[in-house]
Structure 1
Amino acid sequence: MVQDPARTGGSVQHGRIAWIDVAKGIAMLLVFYGHLPGSGDNPWFPDLMTSRSVVYLFHMPLFFVLSGITFHPSKGFRQFAGSRLRRLIVPYYFFSLYALMKIVLKVVAPAIFASFHGEAMGSWRSELLNIVLGNSIGLWFFWALFWGDLVLWLLAKFPKAVQGAFCLLCLLAWPFVPVSHVELPFQLWGVFEAVAFTGLGWLLSGTLEKESRMASSVFLIISMAVFAVSACIALSPSHNPIKVYVVKLFAAVSGSLMIVFLAKGLIQSNSLLQYIGRDTLIFYGLNGLSLAVSKGVFFRIVPVSFVRSNVWSQLLAGMIVLCLACLLCAALKPLIHRYCWWAIGSTNPVKKTVSNN
């Protein structure tokens, strides 16, 4: 993508496009909010489950779309695959240390583990195997994006018509993929979602470069309207498979585009969102740990019974916990860049400083 402010509709700083970092920051906050209630019996925020369901309609497809907008198939395949391995698979196993900690905690201190109200876990052997085989809960995105990027690199060798047709086919097939029912190693099922939405972002990137702020604002209104209708239908129970399929597809696409057009047409630049968006890899990898710590600290001070009393207290408490989690990630971010640069596909900051001097 050409780093030109006039074409991208936003400022460019240090080779980054501001509105894309804003959109990534919003997407990251949605991930934190979606994981806020927890995946177990949720004693903290029961009245936020509906809004969480709305977020889950599109927040991960949004991440794929944003990855597609910045996709560059310019390197040779071996070099490209190596860079994605360092940038996605190494971080997957590094951030899976938190899942490993939970396994150890379940074995040595089951009472403390139960107090987290997390998702039911199997034996420590099965959970460890899940991590090794790329099925660590919450981090599946890394492996899925890895496969999706490799497929897009190969697809880039074909004409635009073939690219569009293949991505459209994956998009139409995605709602049928039985991710939660048939688990394949290394998130191989996730390639459909990755190619579908990363491909969507990739194919739209050229149009987005030329799109004016006014046009983005118009598309924002349209996508908001489509998503609002889709979300309302999605929240109403239905046994009609065609209805469920159409709603899932429309909600994911319109919700993702809603955030893209919100960032490009309305916000464009925001220092806080850009700060998060520049390092979504770290924030995403640490979101489970940071939320667990933040909830543990918060609910030692504020009684759960008080928070559960009404939806407004849950919302306020949730925002406080979310902010605490983000602050914790922000505190750990420079340490990871300094001492664990290898774990996030970055370069050694010491060598980089020496070479610059």
Structure 2
Amino acid sequence: MSTGAAVERTRVDWVDGAKGIAILLVALAHAVQWTVLSGLAPELWNKINLVFIVFRMPLFFLASGLFAASIIRRTWPTLWRTRLSLLVWALLLWTLIRFGYFSLFANPAGFDETNPIDLLLAPVRPSNGLWFLYALALFFVAAKLMSNRVDWRVQIGGAAMLSVLFFARADTGNIAWNGIGRYFLFFLLGCYLREWILSFIDRPSRFGALGLGLGFGVAFLVLAGVILTVDAGMPFITGTLVLVSLLALGAGLLVARFLVGYRAMTWLSYVGRNTLPIYVVHVLFVSALTSLLLLARGQTWLDRLGPALPLLVAGGAVAASLLVWRLVRDLPVLRYGFAVPTWFSGRAPAREVAAREVAAGTAASVSAASADAAEPVLPRNE
């Protein structure tokens, strides 16, 4: 492997590690919601959950943005085939699956996902935890529309203003649109500052890393102190959470780069490479595990586990989600829970594309078409 290829491999590993951290925090957030609302875990977990708002989704969207610059330069049909179709397919399919699941099994946390109106409006107004897919698809579309039309600094400045407003509790009444307002900034930062971010994380200066770590540590402790000691409903000072999020991102990426250097942490990169199956499935297992634990309410062993239940439920849900994906990913029909059908994406099977191009006698086109057709349906990095 060439030196350049080795550097790129390292970059992918730590970005995958960052995505792994992000999806684990997302799973933990849902496990906290379910177990606390069900009375299984202490209320303190809700406030701990709030602290991670500065880190969880910003890290996810930044990591997605790091690989977006080349993607948004593709033609609209290619963008649809290689990226948007999967996001749209997963959103529509798993919204239906969640609707069916919670129609059959009561949600122990009390969330209602069985409203048929919400189901019909899901393509324009998602109202469940799958909103990340919707937001990411819109971010790709918006970034492509603005590419070469709006200066990237203007894009980031406008997104920063939106982020400040929505972190300061501007509210559309919809989880997806609130998330779009909060997190578009971080996607654009990954998209347009990619080389600077990669360079800094790959070769951080000691003073830069130390300063970033200390700055984040102080800001995080102050934020945690405010949340843990003050009414959680109290509005935050405008802009504070955006600033803490930026510090958190830098610190989180450095931590991810540090962790993936250890063989014992290779599982973290694996989790980060396979965020889609975890993201769409884990809530079903969080709900099921919470329901099972409720059957043992009042048992001494369950009371003793109470403070650790969110961690245990989140870990179990992530492991179960990956297991389901590995079991069905090569099976007819079932694999389309995690892969977009060719009839929906417009992507021709690799053999068919190669055969067409060979028949046309265009060697260069064969290479390009085969590469496009062979691109994994579950992309390593969004």
TM above 0.5:
yes
Equivalence for 1:64: 61
2:109 pairs, out of 107, 117, 125, with: 117
Q: Secondary structure at the match of 1:137?
A: coil
Is residue 184 of structure 2 the alignment partner of residue 195 of structure 1? yes
In 1, Cα distance between equivalents of 2:170 and 2:328: 32
Query: How far off is 1:214 after superposition?
Result: 4.6
Deviates more, 1:173-182 or 1:266-275: 173-182
How far 1:309 sits from its partner (Å)? Answer: 4.5
CA distance in structure 1 between the aligned counterparts of 2:103 and 2:49, rounded to whole angstroms:
29
CA shift digits 1:168-204 (9 cap, x unpaired): 22122224247744449xx455443343110112233
**Alignment match, 1:127:** 118
Q: Structure 1 residues 309, 238: CA separation in 2 closer, same or farther (over 3 Å shift)?
A: closer
Give, in whole Å, the separation in 1 of the partners of 2:269 and 2:232.
Answer: 39
Aligned twin of 1:108: none
Distance, in Å, in 2 between the alignment partners of 1:238 and 1:94 is 35
Task: Quote the Cα distance in structure 2 between the aligned partners of 1:255 and 1:327.
Answer: 26
Aligned CA distance change for structure 1 residues 180 and 274 (closer, same or farther; 3 Å)? same
Q: Per the alignment, in what secondary structure is the counterpart of residue 37 of structure 1?
A: helix
1:188-227 → structure 2 map (5 Å cutoff)? 190-211=179-200, 212-215=203-206, 217-218=209-210, 219-227=212-220
Per-residue deviation, 1:221: 3.9
Name the CA shift for 1:32/1:304 in 2 (closer, same or farther; >3 Å): farther
Aligned mate of 1:334, from 326, 333, 336 = 326
Summarize the alignment of residues 32-43 of structure 1 with structure 2, pairs less than 5 Å apart: 32-38=27-33, 41-43=37-39
Q: Is the 8 A contact 2:50 2:227 kept in 1?
A: no
Bigger mean CA offset, 280-289 vs 213-222: 213-222
Alignment of 1:130-149 (within 5 A): 130-149=121-140
1:1-357 to 2 correspondences below 5 Å? 4=4, 7=7, 11=10, 17-38=12-33, 41-46=37-42, 47-71=44-68, 72=70, 73-105=72-104, 113=106, 116-119=108-111, 121=112, 124-158=115-149, 162-177=151-166, 180-183=171-174, 187=176, 190-211=179-200, 212-215=203-206, 217-218=209-210, 219-235=212-228, 236-237=230-231, 243-265=236-258, 267-268=260-261, 270-300=265-295, 302-303=296-297, 306=300, 309=303, 313-339=305-331, 340-345=334-339
Deviation of 1:6 (Å) = 6.2
Contact map agreement 2:99 2:114 (CA 8 A) in 1 = no
RMSD between superposed Cα atoms in Å: 3.4
Map Cα deviations across residues 34-90 of structure 1 (whole Å, 9 max, x no partner). 111225833111231221111233311221111111212231133214433212111
| Structure 2 counterpart SS, 1:198 | helix
Residue segments in structure 2 that go unaligned for 5+ positions in a row: 343-348, 355-369, 371-382
Asked whether the equivalents of residues 42 and 117 of structure 1 are also in contact (C-alpha less than 8 Å), the reply is yes
Deviation at 1:144, TM superposition (A): 0.9
Contiguous gaps of at least 5 residues in structure 1: 106-111
Could you say if the C-alpha distance between residues 233 and 319 of structure 1 is closer, same or farther in structure 2, counting changes exceeding 3 Å?
Answer: closer
Q: Which structure would you say has the larger Rg?
A: 2
Does the 8 Å CA contact 2:65/2:186 hold for their aligned counterparts?
Answer: yes
| Cα drift, residue 265 of structure 1 | 4.3
- Tell me the number of residue pairs that the alignment of Structure 1 and Structure 2 aligns: 331
**2:51–2:224: 8 Å Cα contact kept in structure 1?**
yes
CA–CA separation in structure 1 for the residues paired with 2:27 and 2:20: 11
Structure-1-length-normalised TM-score? 0.79
SS in 2 for 1:60: helix
Equivalent position SS for 1:252? helix
